[in-house]
Amino acid sequence: MTKSDLPVPNLFLIGAQKGGSTTLSRHLSQHPDIRFFSRKEPNLFSADTVDECKTRLRAAKQKTGDQTYHLDGSVDYTRYPLRAHVPNNIATLCDPQAVKFIYILRNPFDRAVSEYYWKRERYGEYVPIEEALSDTSQYVLTSSYDIQIERFLGTFDRSQFLFVKFDDYYADPNAGFAPVCDFLGLAPIAIDNPDRAWGKTDKVETKEPRFKALNRFLYNNNAVRDVIKAAMPDRMLRRTTAFLSKPVPRQQEPEGMRDRMLSGVFADSIARTETLTGLDLSDWKVAA
């Protein structure tokens, strides 16, 4: 159902970046009753205004079909305060009682570090990791799941959300996918290539931009990045990104940084996230 005159998604995979959403979206798209509304990461509802969202919906290359769910997998939707209007935009343009959300959560420090190195690869992030992962950085805020979840729960009912723990799901994707199907009211299926991680981050080797000035320009201009992503087919975008990067050994984060951040900046957020989601996050906590 829709509250506007436009077709809209009714299933959202909303997080978080570098948290396993690419692989989970591939699993979801294998189900015969689910299909992508347009493409992965369309960011249809991340604009500042409802009218701009309508423009994006009109421009979307919607895939037709009579499936039960039309999927929008956009991790930018859980990047508050960078994307502040997403819950309201979805509630305004979709049927707020009919939509469902799946939120995959990875250890907050591991996710932040993975995003940091991804930004170094793709957009020339050059700030040292300890400085980049400051308490108020977007890396940390995106990993502060309680802040992101509370934004959505202020608009939608808790029953519309399924929270999936990264480690539990990827320990056995077929077993992890069964509760997803149950949440959606769909018959379970066996996943093809369940062990393949489409969005896997290599912890031994990373990439470095060949033209750092260009990558830094893109890193600091969200609007330009959005235009490029919308204009270029996914395959061409991947090939271009690969050409603009070169492989280099990946440096590890400073010794002790993980425990310091999990027991410090992330500690209260982990506790609140555990309460909001009902997940057991004890393995994210550092013993005193």
Residue 106, pLDDT above cutoff 50: yes
Residue-averaged pLDDT of the chain: 89
Q: Output 53-56 pairs: Cβ under 8 A, ≥24 positions apart.
A: 53/89, 53/93, 54/4, 54/6, 54/93
- As a whole number of angstroms, the distance between CA 70 and CA 227 comes to 23
The residues that bridge with 69 in the sheet, in sequence order, are 34
Q: How confident is the model at residue 80 (pLDDT cuts 50, 70, 90)?
A: very high
Determine the residue type at 45.
F
The DSSP symbol for 38 reads S
Phi-psi region of 49 (alpha: psi -120 to 50; beta: other; left: phi over 0): beta
More confident residue, 276 or 220: 276
% pLDDT > 70, the chain: 94
What pLDDT, on the 0 to 100 scale, is given for residue 67?
Answer: 93
| pLDDT tens per residue across span 22-74 | 999 999 999 999 999 988 889 999 999 999 999 999 988 777 678 999 999 99
Which letter does DSSP use for residue 2 in this model?
A: B
> Is 234 or 264 the better-scoring residue by pLDDT?
264
Q: What's the burial of 146, exposed, middle or buried (CB within 10 Å: 0-12/13-18/19+)?
A: middle
User: Under a CB-based contact definition with an 8 Å cutoff, are residues 16 and 107 in contact?
Assistant: no
User: Please, which contacts does 266-272 make with residues 24 or more away whose CB atoms are closer than 8 Å?
Assistant: 266/108, 266/109, 266/140, 266/143, 266/144, 269/108, 269/143, 269/144, 269/145, 269/146, 269/147, 270/108, 272/146
Q: Is the dihedral of CA 122, 123, 124, 129 positive or negative?
A: negative
Q: What are the phi and psi torsion angles at 233 (to 5°)?
A: -60, 150
Two structure tokens written together for 60: 């979307």
- Res. 4 pLDDT band, cuts 50 70 90: low
Planar angle of CA 11, 33, 190, nearest 5 degrees? 105
Whether 279 contacts 165, CB under 8 Å: yes
Residue 136, exposed/middle/buried by CB under 10 A (0-12, 13-18, 19+)?
Answer: exposed
65: left (phi over 0), alpha (psi -120 to 50) or beta: left
Please confirm whether the linkage preceding 81 is cis (ω < 30° from 0).
Answer: yes
Give the tens place of pLDDT for each residue, 145-181.
Answer: 999 999 999 999 999 999 999 999 999 999 999 999 9
